[in-house]
Amino acid sequence: MRMEENRVHKKGEKEEKLRHLFWKRFRTNKLALAGAFIVLLLFVVALFAHWLSPYDPGQIDVQQVLQDPTWKHPFGTDPLGRDVFSRMIYGSRISLLVGFVAVGISTLIGIFLGALAGYYGRWVDNLIMRFVDVMLCFPTFFLILAVIALLEPNIWNIMVVIGITGWMGVARLVRAEFLSLKERDFTAAEKALGAKDFRIIFRHILPNALAPVLVSATLGVAGAILTESALSFLGIGVQPPTPSWGNILTAGKDNIEIAWWLSLYPGMAILITVVGYNLLGEGVRDSIDPRLR
């Protein structure tokens, strides 16, 4: 009875300390805070898009086609006279949606395969790692383009495809963590207690392996946003009239000599967003890095 009490008490204390440590380090890291701020700002913009945008993003106004930025249209208008500022605000929704769902998919796949490879080792590990190697041979963009060409370019397909081409890094990370964690005492203890493999993997080892996955996922959102905008730019991503930062840039390319604002602003939005997520990811990584304790 006494021992159990001590164990519970100690476990709670230690957990408390780890989280404290993380937040303390995170709070003092200015760049990480800047990243967090940008990410939160974007969430707010996407959530309140309806109230924040001055015009309806789909409202076509043939008399205002390709106008320079003015007070009335702070970012100018596009070839159909739609307000670019409003379209960009709604475009943030697409970026965030694609970013999170795609990363969600790739993280799930990566965790699953990495855990299996790391835990079971030998031929399972070999097979999965060969699969990773083969997938890494493909220029990712080629693969994504090919698959989306075969299915149709709608937002769900894009999310799934970006997800199934981006899991390799996570899988390797998780596998590495599992390879070391499965040698630890608590794993031996679980096995001695007769716990089934499934339970050991998902209930015990996995929570400890998740820290680098969090970093990878944050950085992955940035990558997914970049990929989605590139696809939309090429016309194989989100299709107009749905506004996406990438497809506004398509109009930018087509009107490159007369409408510089179509090229400048959406790109800046992408840049700032990606910088935000990168800073956040790096900040989280620095805050959980055990080597600096």
Partner 1 sequence: MGFYIIKRLLLMIPLFIGITIISFAVIHLAPGSPIDMATDLNPKATAEVKERMRALYGLDKPLHVQYWNWMGRLVVFDFGVSFSQDGRRVADKILERMPITIFINVVSLALIFLVAVPIGVLSATFQNSFFDKVTTVVVFIGFAVPHFWLALLLMILFGVQLGWLPISGLKSLNYEYFPLSAQIWDRISHLILPIFISASGGLAGLSRYMRANMLEVIRQDYITTAKSKGLSARTVIFKHALRNALLPVITILGLSIPGLIGGSVIFETIFAIPGMGQLFYASVMARDYPAIMGILVIGAVLTLVGNLIADLSYALADPRIRQ
Q: Applying CB under 8 A, which residues contact partner 1?
A: 130-131, 133-143, 145-151, 222, 226, 229-230, 233-236, 249, 252-253, 256-257, 260, 263-264, 266-267, 270-271, 274-275, 278
Nearer to partner 1, 79 or 267 (CB): 267
> Is residue 171 within 8 Å of 212, Cβ to Cβ?
no
Residues 6 or more apart whose CB falls under 8 angstroms from that of 71 comprise none
CA distance 238 to 288: 36
CA distance 248 to 206: 41
Counting other chains too, the contacts that 186-190 makes at CB distance below 8 Å and 24 or more residues apart are none
CA distance 188 to 29: 38
Question: At residue 182, what are phi and psi to the nearest 5 degrees?
Answer: -75, -10
Nearer to partner 1, 31 or 210 (CB): 31
- What is the smallest separation between the CB atom of 128 and partner 1, expressed in angstroms? 12
- What is the smallest separation between the CB atom of 31 and partner 1, expressed in angstroms? 9
- What is the smallest separation between the CB atom of 265 and partner 1, expressed in angstroms? 10
- What is the smallest separation between the CB atom of 290 and partner 1, expressed in angstroms? 18
CA distance 217 to 232: 22
Nearer to partner 1, 205 or 238 (CB): 238
Nearer to partner 1, 102 or 206 (CB): 102
Nearer to partner 1, 48 or 142 (CB): 142
Nearer to partner 1, 205 or 248 (CB): 248
3-class secondary-structure state, position 107: helix
In the block, residue with structure tokens 């080892």: 205
Distance of CA 174 to the CA centre of its chain: 17
Distance of CA 161 to the CA centre of its chain: 14
DSSP assignment of 52-66: H-SS-TT---GGGTT
Nearer to partner 1, 187 or 247 (CB): 247
- What is the smallest separation between the CB atom of 7 and partner 1, expressed in angstroms? 40
- What is the smallest separation between the CB atom of 233 and partner 1, expressed in angstroms? 5
- What is the smallest separation between the CB atom of 84 and partner 1, expressed in angstroms? 15
